[in-house]
Amino acid sequence: MGRGRVDFDRGLARLSAYAREYGHANPKAHEEWLTWRVGLWVSSLREKYRKGKLTGEKVAAAEAIGVRFVPPYRDPKPKPPTRAECRESDLLRRLEWLEEYFQENGHINIPQLRGISTWPNAGRWVARLRSQYRKGKLPQTVVDRAESMKIVWNPGAGRRSY
């Protein structure tokens, strides 16, 4: 066994320790770990793979600890939520703010001019929610949650106090 095999085994052992620490075996090319250029070693390993200079045994050993030889080398970044998903989660979060009012009153039909103690503009927000419902712009999850909280979508003319 020549020096190349010893270096490969030592490098693989170090990379395995790196993978246990960071959760992956695909460091960036410039990355160092414990004063060892782990990224450079993996980069040269990939270059040898592309040139056909790695044996099947070495490729299998490296893949066993998680080295990827074919791009993309890392998992793709998770996509940020869409505007519609953000809006839906915001509406659901605001409905949660009305949970206490719902528990006390059995509904979330808050008068527009009078909010609740923790949210003074809750009545106006519920009115805007109804308006969006009538225009068909509310996600079904929000509609279902509001209906489970006994919202009246068309409450009619309210009381006016001048």
Token output for 101:
């009012």
Residues 8, 17: Cα–Cα separation, whole Å: 14
Summarize pLDDT for 34-89 with one digit per residue, the tens. Answer: 888 888 999 999 999 999 998 989 999 999 998 888 877 666 778 899 999 999 99
Do the beta carbons of residue 147 and residue 122 sit within 8 Å? no
Summarize pLDDT for 95-115 with one digit per residue, the tens. Answer: 999 999 999 999 999 988 888
pLDDT of residue 142: 96
Q: What angle do CA 53, 26, 17 make, to 5 degrees?
A: 100
Question: What is the pTM for the complete model shown?
Answer: 0.55
What are the sequence ranges of the domains in the chain? Answer: 3-65, 83-148
Sign of the dihedral through C-alpha 65, 67, 72, 74: positive
pLDDT of residue 28: 86
Residues 119, 94: Cα–Cα separation, whole Å: 10
Residues 63, 25: Cα–Cα separation, whole Å: 9
Q: What angle do CA 125, 157, 140 make, to 5 degrees?
A: 45
Stretch 138-162: mean pLDDT = 86
Where in the chain does DSSP place strands (E)? Answer: none
pLDDT of residue 1: 42
Cβ-based neighbours of 29, under 8 Å, separated by 6 or more: 39, 40, 42, 43
pLDDT of residue 31: 87
